[in-house]
Structure 1
Amino acid sequence: MEKIIIIVGPTAVGKTSLSVKLAKELQGEIISGDSMQVYKEMSIGTAKVKEEEKEGIPHHLVDCYSFDEEYNVKIFQEKAREEIKKMHEKGILPIICGGTGLYIKSMLYDYQFEDQKQDESFMRYLQSRSNDELWGLLNIIDPKSCETIHHNNRQRVVRALCMAHEGKKKSSIIEEQEHKPIYDAYIIGLTMDRDRLYERINKRVDIMMEEGLFEEIDHLQKQKENVWELQSFQGIGYKEWKDYFLHNESKEFCVEKIKKNSRNFAKRQYTWFNNQMDVHWYDVENQDFQQKLMEDVKKWLNRQ
């Protein structure tokens, strides 16, 4: 199987800088496994890699779509596999750097996504229901899917309901697939003391505000009607501003909400990756972690 490196871990732990270091050392290029950095107009709230941070290393699946275009796990799977194929043909090592667990898993394993027909009347019915009502409906129709979907992830709940409506439950489709990896992947997980990680996350949000996060969102929400319904505006750092622009909350409240949601997301990321993948964890606070990591990766690369 073709070899790839995957770097996972919570936000603000240092994945970007490590990915660049590995790419320079191992003649690699980087594929973003992030669901938000693809949007050209959304840079600050997505903590998008800056040009100077790339250090000349090509980055793929960054700045590819406008914020009002559709981008989902199926598109990511297709595009990421295309990039991996091109890199292997050129003798380049693909390094996938990301935080979106489902995206990484869809690329690594033999997931197959079925095309869905759109039943407009059913979609209108779903759009008129609250998150709690949709979750309750899915719990009746396909309770097994509820085990892997967060009840506030409206997009995924709606997708599962549409699949069931078309006659094939999401859980049944997943059970029919073997879920075998299609690449030989070395999965690097970065970790650190939780309290210090949360301090980093809080500081990162403060820096985003200094860099112009509010101005970025203010500009975008003027460009498009119903901007809060776009998939791109469901990401942490963006969705929290809705109440401010509806004059329901203060700017300070929204900033604190971003920090809280980011910390909670970091907790969920640890749990998800521990349960879903064979991750080699490295504590970034250990002085020799990069040396140890590099030794491990080189051993793996030399293994037939």
Structure 2
Amino acid sequence: MATGSDAELPVIAVVGPTGSGKSDLGVELALALQGEVINADSMQFYRGMDIGTAKISESERRGVPHHLLDILDVAEEASVSRFQAECRQIIADIHGRGKRAIVVGGSGLYVRAALDVLEFPGTDPALRRRLEKELVAVGLTGMQARLRAVDPVSAGRLGDARRVVRALEVHELTGRPFSSFMPSREYFQPAVQIGLDVPRDVLHQRLATRVHAMVDAGLLDEVRALDARGLRRGKTASRALGYAQFLRVLDGASDVDAAAEETIVATRQFARRQLTWFRADPRINWLPWDDRQLVARAAKLC
């Protein structure tokens, strides 16, 4: 347990794959430690994306304040640099009131942005538009070749067009390779990370059960309502697990059962990527998700 002034209290982060119980543990820790939760799940920023993101309900929050939920419309693009600034301001406010800040989420880069020394280069809309036009002209392979000439590290790591364009934009703006902005494992301020460890077979079954429950709870109707509010225009929200698959149902290109199975497969793949990301961080304290003493053991680390 931390000692000393409020400024020395470590930020608590609850991380792990989707479906591992992070939201529930965040609430339990907040109740045990007089804390407040800060959302670090990029898809839970969006108003109305409730069922498909398993967003914690008001009743499930049990009176614990939750920050950075429902802050964007679905047509808006999420920004990790904006999140970093807002999250750190909220952390300072929570600690300044003598409470504990508990960051909860499985979006790895957002968690790192909250906790680690991490610099974000700016953007230039005109430059971005020019690069996107060049992408259309020369294709992804041509843009990757350009990136390889100035930033081979990023070229070897990035495979999708949006990120390749971003890497080229950063290089033109700053004269530095995009890879030079990658975070080191250095906390911005004291922090404790708690990871929830779920056996793969158990997690796979939990994710399948959860997707079917989302369908029964009205996921298709939620997607239909969000489509009317501009979901397809949202570069971030439209790619969310479940939402992309069920938009195809609205288009007549799929049916509910097929969309559910596609969502289960995509969610399991996403969980695997999350685990790869988080397992690479040796600072995370992993605890069994179903430990009967989970809250007490997690609180002891904080």
Scaled by the length of structure 1, the TM-score of the pair is 0.87
Pair 1:156-2:176 in alignment: no
How far off its partner does 1:133 sit?
6.2
Pick aligned residue for 2:51 from 36, 44, 52: 44
Distance 1:294 1:121, change over 3 A: closer
SS in structure 2 opposite 1:36?
A: helix
1:293 and 2:302 aligned: no
Query: How many residues are paired up?
Result: 292
Match of 1:263 in 2: 268
Unaligned 5+ residue runs, structure 2?
1-7
In 2: Cα distance, 1:223 partner to 1:294 partner? 41
Q: Partners of 1:123 and 1:182 in 2: how far apart?
A: 34
Report the equivalent of 1:301.
Answer: none
Q: CA deviation at 1:182?
A: 1.3
Take 1:215 and 1:68, find their aligned partners in 2: how far apart are those partners? 18
Cα separation, 2, equivalents of 1:139 and 1:85: 40
Moved more, 1-10 or 201-210: 1-10
2:105 to 81, 98, 109: 98
Q: Greater CA deviation, 35-44 or 119-128?
A: 119-128
Counterpart check, 1:275 vs 2:280: yes
Deviations 1:232-282 (A, max 9, x none): 112212222344344333332221111011111111111111113510000
Equivalent positions of 1:137-148 (< 5 A) are 138-146=147-155, 148=157
* Structure 1 stretch displaced more, 55-64 or 237-246: 237-246
Gaps of 5+ in 1: 298-304
Superposition pairs of residues 1-304 of structure 1, within 5 angstroms = 1-118=8-125, 119=127, 120-126=129-135, 138-146=147-155, 148-149=157-158, 151-152=159-160, 154-166=161-173, 167-174=175-182, 180-224=186-230, 227=232, 230-297=235-302
Task: Name the CA distance, whole Å, in 1 between partners of 2:41 and 2:191.
Answer: 18
Q: 1:78 to 1:155 in 2, by over 3 A?
A: farther
- Change beyond 3 A, Cα 1:200–1:84: same
Q: CA deviation at 1:126?
A: 2.9
Q: Which amino acid aligns with 1:241?
A: F
TM-score relative to the length of structure 2: 0.88
Structure 1 residues 197 and 178: CA distance shift in structure 2, 3 A: closer
> CA-atom RMSD, angstroms?
2.3
Asked if the contact 2:32–2:299 (Cα under 8 Å) also holds between the matched residues in 1, the reply is no
CA distance in 1, matches of 2:108, 2:289: 20
**Would you say the 8 A contact 1:30–1:60 is kept in 2?**
yes
Post-superposition shift, 1:211? 1.1
> Structure 1 residues 284, 121: closer, same or farther in 2, change over 3 A?
closer
Mapped contact 1:8–1:190 kept (Cα < 8 A): yes
CA drift at 1:35: 0.4
Mapped partners of 2:236, 2:144: distance in 1:
19
Cα deviation per residue 1:160-214 (whole Å; 9 max; x = unaligned)? 122124333201344xx76521121110000121101110000110111111111
Q: Deviations over 1:47-86 (max 9, x none)?
A: 1110000000000000111111232111110110010011
Question: Would the aligned equivalents of 2:22 and 2:104 in 1 still touch at CA under 8 Å?
Answer: yes
Which residue identity does 2:105 align to in structure 1?
G
Which AA in structure 2 matches 1:85? Answer: A
Q: Which moved more, 1:210-219 or 1:133-142?
A: 133-142
Question: Do 1:22 and 1:28's aligned partners in 2 also have CA atoms closer than 8 Å?
Answer: yes
Partner Cα separation in structure 1 for residue 136 and residue 222 of structure 2: 28
Distance in 1 (alpha carbons) for counterparts of 2:235 and 2:70? 17
Note closer, same or farther for the CA distance 1:27–1:288 as it changes in structure 2 (3 Å cut): closer
1:111 is aligned with what amino acid?
A: L
Letter in 1 for 2:265: K
